[in-house]
A = this chain, B = another copy of it.
Amino acid sequence: MSKKAIQDHYPDDVARCYGCGKLNSEGYQLKTYWVDDESVSTFTPAPYHTAVEGFVYGGLIASLIDCHSTGTAAAAAYRQAGREIGSEPGFRFVTGSLHVDYLKPTPLGVPLEIRGTIEEIKGRKVIVRSTLKADGQICAKGRVVAVEMPEHFQAK
Binding site for B on A (CB under 8 A): 13-14, 16-19, 21, 24-27, 46, 48-55, 57-60, 62-64, 66-67, 94-102, 105, 149, 153-156
Contacts and interface: CB of A to CB of B under 8 A. Distances in A.
A53 B100 contact: no
Contacts of A46: 26
A11 to B, nearest CB: 11
A48 B156 CA distance: 17
A99 B102 contact: no
Copy number in the complex reads: 2
Contacts of A98: 58, 62, 98-100, 102
B26 A59 contact: no
Contacts of A95: 58, 100, 102
Given A59-B67, A62-B63, 10 more contacts: A17-B50, A18-B51, A19-B57, A51-B94, A52-B149, A59-B60, A59-B63, A59-B66, A97-B100, A97-B102
A101 B105 contact: no
A25 B50 CA distance: 12
A52 B18 contact: no
Contacts of A153: 52, 55, 105
Contact of A52 (B17, B53, B55, B67): B17
* Most chain B CB within a 10 A radius of its CB, from A14, A16, A54, A58: A58
Nearest to A10: B52
Contact of A101 (B50, B97, B154, B156): B97
